[in-house]
Amino acid sequence: MAYTTTPIAGLWIFEPRLFEDERGHFYESFNAKNFAEATGFARDFVQDNHSLSHYGVLRGLHCQLPPHDQNKLIRVVQGLVYDVALDLRKSSPTYGQYFGVELSSENKKQFFIPQVLRMALWF
């Protein structure tokens, strides 16, 4: 799985390696060892959510504050979304800046936002 950093420290984009043939395709969507090596986060995921949004829906602004903050690994299995993270850490050099990425069933990209960043997530 390929991974890239973003202009906001701690945000990561993951792109799985796709294996395609006449039957369809296969890819590994998560590997704990590779994930920890890339990000330095050796954390277990304890919850997996799935949501469906109709065209034109804005899910909202989610502020991650303790004790309810969570790691978020976002991917899209059908259609596409433009996902945005806003840096709300007042001590951060990127405070007030945002980063957005298009996630789709076509590009298979995943967007990781760690809980320790205490960011807002807008998707």
Closest-CA residue to 35 (of 44, 48, 24):
44
CB 99 within 8 A of CB 7: yes
Q: What is the pLDDT of residues 14-61, one digit of tens each?
A: 999 999 999 999 999 888 888 888 888 776 666 777 788 888 888 766
47/52 Cα distance (integer angstroms): 17
CB 102 within 8 A of CB 109: yes
The residue type found at 23 is R
Structural domains of the chain, count: 1
Q: How many CB atoms lie within 10 A of CB 64?
A: 20
Q: What is the pLDDT of residues 65-81, one digit of tens each?
A: 778 778 888 899 998 98
110/95 Cα distance (integer angstroms): 23
Domain that holds residue 118: 2-122
3-state secondary structure of 34: helix
Which CATH number does the domain housing residue 70 bear? 2.60.120.10
Reply yes or no on whether the pLDDT at 91 is more than 70: yes
